[in-house]
Structure 1
Amino acid sequence: MRTVDAVALIVGIVIGAGIFRTPSLVAANVGSGVEIILVWVIGGLVSLIGALCYAELVSTFPNTGGDYYFLRLAFGKRIAFLFAWARMTVIQTGSIALLAFIFGDYASQIYSLGKFSAVIYAASVVLFLTAINIAGIRKGTETQKLLTVVEVLGLALVIVVGFFFVPEAEFSILPDSHPSSDNSMGLAMVFVLLTFGGWNEAAYISAEMRFGQRSVVKALMMSIVLITVIYLLVNLALLNALGQVGMSGSDAVAVDLMRLAFGKWGVLMISALVAISALASANATIFTGARSNYAMGRDFAGFKLIGDWKVKNSVPVNAFLLQGVISLILIGMGLFTRSGFETMVEYTAPVFWFFLLLVGLSLFILRRKEPEAIRPFRVPFFPLLPIGFCMTSLYLLYSSIVYTSWGAFLGIAVLGLGLLLQFINPSLLEDIGNGSE
């Protein structure tokens, strides 16, 4: 895989439909237009710090298993198994279902398939993209590059419309007349950092990079900078067109922007754009998710079936199939909840940030356990930057529990089930590989 493929993959995962929803939530929780831009800049900087930490790990220990492999080296196979279980049943599959629901919601605005239109679209996306990726790595990456190009061009359209096709809104850089609470800035940062989430997926393709481990570092840095610039331009365009009051009072800022500029056709245009954004992110998430499932099957006897790699197509077919089945089950939950998207956010967030915290801690542990390992890249200002990364992950773990409801506890319960399985059936942890692939 070339650097341009990795950049397309990371950008495709990170820039999803969230950027079309979170700007209004951020605007509602800060005091001025300047603070809106400030929190997005901070979000980019925090993500860059996290990416620097990951850059050391992926360049020193390149492996198809990504986070799974780092955790195994640092904490042992029990924690590695628990992470692989969580990724298979909660983190990755929940993210796939979440993105599929976004696609379904917006595709339904273009053409409704009836009462369960969103669920039908969501299930169809999982089936289609899983089939595309099973067809082979080249088809998967080519699809991703195409979807990411369309996605970024669509965001460029929002930026151009916000600056040049609507009258400038009257907004002030001074505090809003309705001051926010003491904790509002922290809540705004939660939304921002969640919108930046996904850059760590580069770890799962580190072993497939064509020009060595330092190309992973290059891909991470290029991706974060590009994403930050795009997010800043989107928010500046929205501020220019709608102002802070207009942004904070909107449930769909991009839809309101396009309606203001082009009416009904603008709404249809942005609905298609958001659907494509979700499609791009879902494709990248499916692509990387199967690789940690493959690593789990490669190392643990109880999951040997998903550890089969098809050399002909260069893909873990069984891992893709299992991931697709679990994602479809989670999508089925959307039939019984008021909002499939919100349920999946609650379901995945606490488990995700818990393991991201452990990955940050593994950087310290592996510096001590593997002092002689060749490190093509070392995170600068050690240990200050890794400490900041760990503290940020801990804060988001706390926030993902405090600000959500039953979905979070369901995800935690599924994680607990994986822990219970280790004690009920110890043979699941029997090694059949060493994770060195």
Structure 2
Amino acid sequence: MKDGNAPAAANRSIPNVPQRLSLWDTVSIIVGIVVGTAIFRSPPLVFQNTTGPWEALGAWLLGGAWCLCGAFCYAELATTFPRNGGDYEYLRQAFGGWLGFLFGWAQLVAVLTGSIGAMGYAFADYGAQLWPRSSFSTAVVAAAAIAVLTAANAFGIVFGKKVQNVLTLAKIAGLALVVVAGLLGRGAPLLTTAAIGELQGPGFGLALVFVLYAYGGWNDAVFVAAEVRDQRRNMPRALFYGIGLITLLYLAVNAAYLKSLGFEGVRQSSTPAASVVENVVGHWGGRAISALVMISALGAINGLLLAGSRIYAVMGEDFRLFSWLRTGGTQAGAPVAAIVLQGGVSIVLVFGVGTAAGRDGVDHLLRALGLADVPWEAYFGGFEALVAGTAPVFWAFFLLTGVSVFVLRVKHPQQRPFSIPLYPLPAVVFCLTCAYMFYCSLEYAKSLVLLAVVPVALGLPLYLLCQVWTQRRSS
């Protein structure tokens, strides 16, 4: 790590944003976004593609190590270019405004809003397990959860971060109870003789795909980098502490699954957390886990709303056509218009992708463009299809952000406040893994990628319109 001045270009157009986020607030955002529903659903898929318990735990540890390589890259970028917007700003600096704009547009129309919608649906699905007689549809409950948290964040950054801290602490406490139940409850054989001959999953590479999916979102805290107190010191620490805490949680939870259910038991269970808790408290365990997943989903929604909205606020500072989104129009430190827009698009996706009528509408639109219908059922429904379709876009931008580390070291070779240790090894590992994940996600999504590429591609003519608009207003 080195002390020094950030490149002069990094300081362009940095607004005077109040720094109201402490180190813990930033860690809370990271943990809140990452620890959503995947830790309750991915472990069986990881275990099915590994040959033993130590290999499975090693996959989770390797996922944390990869995140650490990425955190080194993002720590250098966030301290060198300490503006809100994260990847938007890094891509703009490295490759030009068009790519930064396309990144922000992709987050708005598919990637972040799709994740918010998916978490809303997870909240509603598990709520239906707790209250099976509810007369409200899944889409209505999902939309209501998003609307309430959108309103909470519109009240200001202080209120939004308090909600985030409460939800993050609640989910950590809940996962700690799962770990205690698994480690102290009655156990199962770690690896049965019958299971040893059956350990033939597709491969460790596929296990890593599921692991990295569960770690997704650790970088989103850089979207609020300018609002972190003592940013050059606390932003790297938040990334490292957040990833470290998540890795420990994931290892502990998976160890508890193994202790309670055994390796083969985890492979065969669709709800390992519920099975672990039911071993201790009986049928109430399933209800307790449903409540915990609901809390986890709410924490992810709130974190994404809080952090993601800053991308669009910064876009509003750079593009006059979107000036109504800029940070200047805030309520108690919150870009209200950007928050409401993000929440609104997420709710539109809830009804457009999460309902039969909405999916029919999407198919009609694709037919009008001369494209094939979306194979919804092949991907287990609306939001599973949306997540699969947007994954290649997500990994493509992740890869480009990794490449921007190399580009910006050439374009702005000045000394960094934080420099990647053992450079360029962590950056190379990060980029190669992103490239591998891009390939895997593209192979899985196939034609489904059009679900994301079509709306994202509309960002290019919109960018040109922004340029024309700015030139005319300037003249």
TM over 0.5: yes
1:378 and 2:419 correspond: yes
SS of equivalent residue, structure 1 residue 239: helix
Instruction: Describe how 1:143-222 pairs up with structure 2 within 5 A.
Output: 143-171=163-191, 176-181=196-201, 183-222=202-241
Alignment of 1:360 with 2:402, yes or no, is yes
Aligned match for 1:392, one of 433, 445, 455: 433
The answer for unaligned runs of 5 or more in structure 2 is 1-20, 357-375
Q: Is the 8 A contact 2:130 2:290 kept in 1?
A: yes
CA contact (8 A) 2:314 2:327 kept: no
User: What code does the residue aligned with 1:36 have?
Assistant: A
Q: Indicate the residue corresponding to 1:21 in structure 2.
A: 41
The separation in 1 between residues aligned to 2:193 and 2:168, in whole angstroms, is 33
Deviation at 1:400, TM superposition (A): 1.2
1:310 aligns with 2:329: yes
**Cα 1:312/1:331, change in 2 over 3 Å:** closer
Q: 1:404 aligns with which of 420, 426, 445?
A: 445
CA distance in 1, matches of 2:326, 2:255: 47
Q: 1:13·1:198 contact (CA, 8 Å) conserved in 2?
A: yes
CA contact (8 A) 1:95 1:348 kept: no
Residue correspondence of structure 1 range 178-327 to structure 2 within 5 A: 178-181=198-201, 183-327=202-346
Asked if 1 retains the 8 angstrom alpha-carbon contact of 2:82 and 2:231, the reply is: no
1:86 aligned partner, one-letter code: A
Alpha-carbon spacing, 1:428–1:39, altered in 2? closer, same or farther (3 Å): farther
Shift of residue 245, structure 1, vs aligned partner: 1.1
- Amino-acid identity (%): 40
Tell me, yes or no, if structure 1 residue 72 matches structure 2 residue 89.
no
- How far does residue 308 in structure 1 lie from its aligned partner after superposition? 4.8
Higher mean C-alpha deviation, range 382-391 or range 256-265 = 256-265
1:275 CA displacement: 0.5
Contact 1:102 / 1:341 at 8 angstroms: preserved in 2?
A: no
8 Å contact from structure 1 (residues 43, 189) kept in 2:
yes
Q: 2:391 aligns with which of 333, 337, 349?
A: 349
Shift of 1:274: 0.6
- The alpha-carbon distance between structure 1 residues 335 and 229, as it changes in their structure 2 partners (threshold 3 A), is same
Are 1:82 and 2:102 an aligned pair? yes
Change (3 A) 1:242 1:226: same
The alpha-carbon distance between structure 1 residues 189 and 68, as it changes in their structure 2 partners (threshold 3 A), is: same
Q: CA deviation at 1:426?
A: 4.8
Q: Deviation at 1:91?
A: 1.4
Q: Check conservation: 2:390, 2:451, Cα contact below 8 A.
A: no
Shift of 1:304: 2.0
Change (3 A) 1:207 1:396: same
Deviation by residue 1:347-405 (Cα, 9 ceiling, x = unmatched): 33111111010100110011000112x41110011112111111111111111121235
Deviates more, 1:227-236 or 1:211-220: 211-220
Q: Residues of 2 paired with 1:255 and 1:169: CA distance?
A: 19
Per-residue deviation, 1:227: 0.7
Instruction: Tell me by how many angstroms 1:429 deviates.
Output: 6.9
Instruction: Quote the Cα distance in structure 1 between the aligned partners of 2:186 and 2:157.
Output: 43
Q: Aligned equivalents of 2:155 and 2:146: distance in 1?
A: 14
Instruction: Output the CA distance in 2 between the equivalents of 1:362 and 1:429.
Output: 26
Letter in 1 for 2:51: G
Q: Given that residues 34 and 173 in structure 1 are in contact (C-alpha distance below 8 angstroms), is that contact kept between their aligned partners in structure 2?
A: no
91 and 321 in structure 1: CA distance in 2 versus 1, 3 angstrom threshold: same
1:134/1:160 Cα in 2 relative to 1: closer, same or farther (>3 Å)?
same
Distance 2:219 2:473 in 1: 27
Q: Distance in 1 between matches of 2:343 and 2:78?
A: 27
Which residue identity does 1:299 align to in structure 2? D
Separation (CA, whole Å) in 2 of partners of 1:346 and 1:432: 40
- Counterpart of 1:219 in 2: which secondary structure? helix
Instruction: Return the TM-score normalized by structure 2.
Output: 0.86
Q: CA deviation at 1:175?
A: 8.1
| 3-state SS, counterpart of residue 166 of structure 1 | coil
Q: Post-superposition shift, 1:340?
A: 3.7
* Secondary structure at the counterpart of residue 458 of structure 2: helix
Quote the offset at 1:424 in angstroms.
6.7
The alignment of Structure 1 onto Structure 2 pairs a total of residues equal to 431
Secondary structure at the aligned position of 2:416 is classed as: coil
Distance 1:174 1:396 in 2: 33
Q: C-alpha separation between the residues in 1 aligned to 2:227 and 2:133? A: 40
The TM-score with structure 1 as length reference comes to 0.94
1:182-219 Cα deviation digits (max 9, x unpaired): x5210000000111111111211211111231210111
Rounded to whole Å, the distance in 2 between the matches of 1:395 and 1:365 is: 21
Kindly indicate whether the alpha-carbon contact (under 8 Å) linking 2:57 and 2:254 is maintained by their aligned counterparts in 1.
yes
Query: What is residue 421 of structure 1 aligned with on the other side?
Result: 462
Q: Match for residue 59 of structure 1?
A: 79
Distance 1:15 1:174, change over 3 A: farther
Shift of 1:414: 1.6
Cα separation, 2, equivalents of 1:72 and 1:432: 22
Q: 1:397 to 1:263 in 2, by over 3 A?
A: same
AA aligned to 1:411 is A
**Per-residue deviation, 1:313:** 1.1
Structure 1 distance, partners of 2:417, 2:313, is: 26
CA distance in structure 1 between the aligned counterparts of 2:293 and 2:107, rounded to whole angstroms = 25
